[in-house]
Each structure stands twice: as C-alpha cells, then as structure tokens.
C-alpha cells in the first residue's frame, strides 16, 4: 500500500517517502543477504542529499506564554488620543495665525 499521496506532504516529501519505500522493499527482498542497517541508512541519506536535502540548524519553537494582565483600556486611550488631536489642531491654528500676522517668518 503506497501512502505517498498524503495531503499534508509537499512534493519533495512525497518523493522522499516513495524513494525510501522502494529502498526498503529492495532491501527486504534481498532476504538474509541484505546489507547492514548503517550502510542502508547512509545510502538513503546520500540519496536525499542528491535531491537537495540538507540538514538545518532548526530548533524547536519556544513555548509561548500568554501576557499577564488585562491590557489597556480602549476608552481611556481613545479619550487621550482625541485630546492630543485637539491640542495639535489648536497648535496648528496658532501657527497659521502667527504666520498671517507676520510674527513667524
């Protein structure tokens, strides 16, 4: 039974699974004369490398811990933002008025 069409495998992984399955079948068909497991494993790793596989320095993901506390109060920050916008608009209006009068070059 060939299961290389698993939906969670990409094309390269499906090819690797199929190649390994063929090598295992050939090894098992050889019966008592089959090679040592280390030789078989080395041959397979070399075949994977021939297809472009390379070991990586990937590490397991760190465990996620959710932040503590309730977070910011949106209504409090909305009020502060509205106040800052008003202050900015007032400052811009004062600068425009000063420019018209000639106080600011």
**DSSP summary character for residue 62:** P
Q: Where are the alpha helices (DSSP H) in 1-105?
A: 11-29, 37-50, 74-101
Alpha-carbon distance 66 to 74, whole Å?
20
Q: At 3, give phi and psi (nearest 5°).
A: -120, 45
pLDDT band at 2 (very low <50, low <70, confident <90, very high): very low
The tens digit of pLDDT for each residue in 32-69 reads 666 677 777 788 888 888 888 777 877 777 887 776 76
H or E segment to which residue 35 belongs:
none
* 89 pLDDT above the threshold of 80: yes
Residue partners of 19: CB distance under 8 A and separation at least 6? 44, 47, 48, 51
* 104 pLDDT above the threshold of 70: no
Token pair recorded at residue 93: 């209006």
């Amino acid at each position: 039974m060939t299961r290389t069409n698993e939906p969670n495998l990409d094309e390269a992984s499906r090819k690797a699974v199929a190649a390994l399955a063929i090598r295992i079948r050939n090894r098992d068909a050889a019966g008592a004369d089959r090679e040592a497991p280390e030789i078989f494993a080395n041959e397979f790793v070399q075949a994977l490398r021939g297809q472009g596989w390379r070991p990586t320095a990937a590490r397991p993901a760190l465990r996620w811990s959710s932040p503590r506390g309730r977070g910011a109060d949106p209504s409090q920050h909305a009020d502060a933002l509205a106040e800052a916008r008003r202050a900015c608009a007032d400052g811009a209006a004062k600068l425009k008025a000063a420019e018209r009068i000639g106080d600011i070059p």
